[in-house]
Amino acid sequence: MAAESGRQFWKRSAKLPGSIQPVYGAQHPPLDPRLTKNFIKDRSKANALPMKSKKASSFHEFARNTSDAWDIGDDEDEDFSSSSSSFQTLNSKVAKATAAQVLENHSKLRAKPERAQSALGDMPTNCKVIKSSSEAQLSRTSEEACVRTPLQKQQSLPLRPVIPLVARISDQNASGAPPMTVREKTRLEKFRQLLSSHNTDLDELRKCSWPGVPREVRPVTWRLLSGYLPANMERRKLTLQRKREEYFGFIQQYYDSRNEEHHQDTYRQIHIDIPRTNPLIPLFQQPLVQEIFERILFIWAIRHPASGYVQGINDLVTPFFVVFLSEYVEEDVENFDVANLSQDVLRSIEADSFWCMSKLLDGIQDNYTFAQPGIQKKVKALEELVSRIDEQVHNHFRKYEVEYLQFAFRWMNNLLMRELPLRCTIRLWDTYQSEPEGFSHFHLYVCAAFLIKWRKEILDEEDFQGLLMLLQNLPTIHWGNEEIGLLLAEAYRLKYMFADAPNHYRR
């Protein structure tokens, strides 16, 4: 009885579709035996039940199967035991058919051993000898199985990939990468001229930064584009000193209050989320770095009571931290021990990361207030936009009852940081900071371009679960600056066509 009430509770307490799941950094959920079981049941009932009969429970079933990759459902044993009777009846028929087949094959082999030997010699080496009815069923499509690639199998239920060296944080201008071309050297010199001028032309700096900022000048460029640093060269040093002192004044004033009762829930959630931030990158697992992130997020939450801390904001610190750390580290930063830096340098990185993140969140704070209305509006706008630019994809989602909120909520809440490697996020933010309202308005068109990029894979999936698995585990681990450049170009085209003509995507 207790187990039954427990199951009913969790079904009633389903999370908001698209909300952040407790497993962080898992590129793909591990294989779950219940997925195979459900797949068999769905296939067996496909002809008997119409598609719309699963509307009320399809997403709940999917969420229950994938909500936590490390937990096993309470009703797993019961599910397997309930299905055992059907498999027992199947096994009796299978045993009889298999026995008859074995006897027939044996008699043929005894009668014609030479022909059987030659037939075995001609059998393809990559196909199996039939030993059971399950393998017999597979052998009917042996020709297709021989030519089917492993990638196609992984698309239906992908395995967690091993992160290759190409997934490092560093981009094409980092140390250890190919030498810069003449064009890259010219762009770098252009940036240095702009940044060293008495009053930096911010409009020109945005224009130069749109196609990407060279690594060597990215820290100071980001400080300027975010509005943290003034354009006047003479005021920058004093501004940095004042803002850094102001931040550590907040630390002295507010950080001890984390142990007070009315702030304990906020600090506890931050303390839980920090280790989950980019768990595959050693840099972010260092205790010193996690302490820095805790201070940044807690002070921001205290200073913004309208929203407070919301899961997902912890991800938004990482690009700023990596960029400002690269100002003092020449090699790849993902394995760098920050304990080798002086206390003053660490304080500067921490304060600059806080202020730049605050400037970013000021433009999208309605994403994180109660009920997150900013995200709701953006997801609805994405649905309307996709319905106009690719009606086939839109209708495909409607056919299999996939709601945009079920996958695009995370795209808006985390600014695609969960869908892209960190190096790609940094390159993407070069352009976001160059665009007016880049993190709010332009991000919508980037999400639309990102979705249409996978239209072939989307149209190949022909069930609800397959579509959700694909959209939550898109294979971008090998992406780099080239793919991001193409994505941004398509997003700019969509913005040019639709931003100033909203009736183009309103029905």
- Which comes out higher in pLDDT, residue 309 or 96? 309
pLDDT per position as a tens digit, 344-377: 999 999 999 999 999 999 999 899 988 899 999 9
Q: Which fold has domain 366-506?
A: Cyclin A; domain 1 (1.10.472)
- Average pLDDT of the residues of the chain: 77
Taking a C-beta distance cutoff of 8 angstroms, is the pair 364, 371 a contact? no
pLDDT per position as a tens digit, 104-126: 775 665 554 444 444 444 444 44
Angle at 345 between CA 235 and CA 171, to 5 degrees: 90
Taking a C-beta distance cutoff of 8 angstroms, is the pair 290, 274 a contact? yes
Tokens of 310: 């919301």
Span of 123-137, 352-366, 459-473 with lowest mean pLDDT: 123-137
Phi-psi region of 155 (alpha: psi -120 to 50; beta: other; left: phi over 0): alpha
Residues 430, 436: Cα–Cα separation, whole Å: 12
114, amino acid identity: E
CA dihedral 56, 57, 59, 61 (to 10 degrees): 180
What angle, rounded to 10 degrees, do the helices at 218-225 and 318-325 form? 130
Adjacent-strand bridge partners of 199: 232
Spatial CA neighbour of 218 closest among 82, 320, 94: 320
Spans of all domains in the chain: 366-506
pLDDT at res. 502: 62
Phi-psi region of 73 (alpha: psi -120 to 50; beta: other; left: phi over 0): beta
pLDDT at res. 58: 58
- Predicted model pTM: 0.68
Residues 303, 204: Cα–Cα separation, whole Å: 33
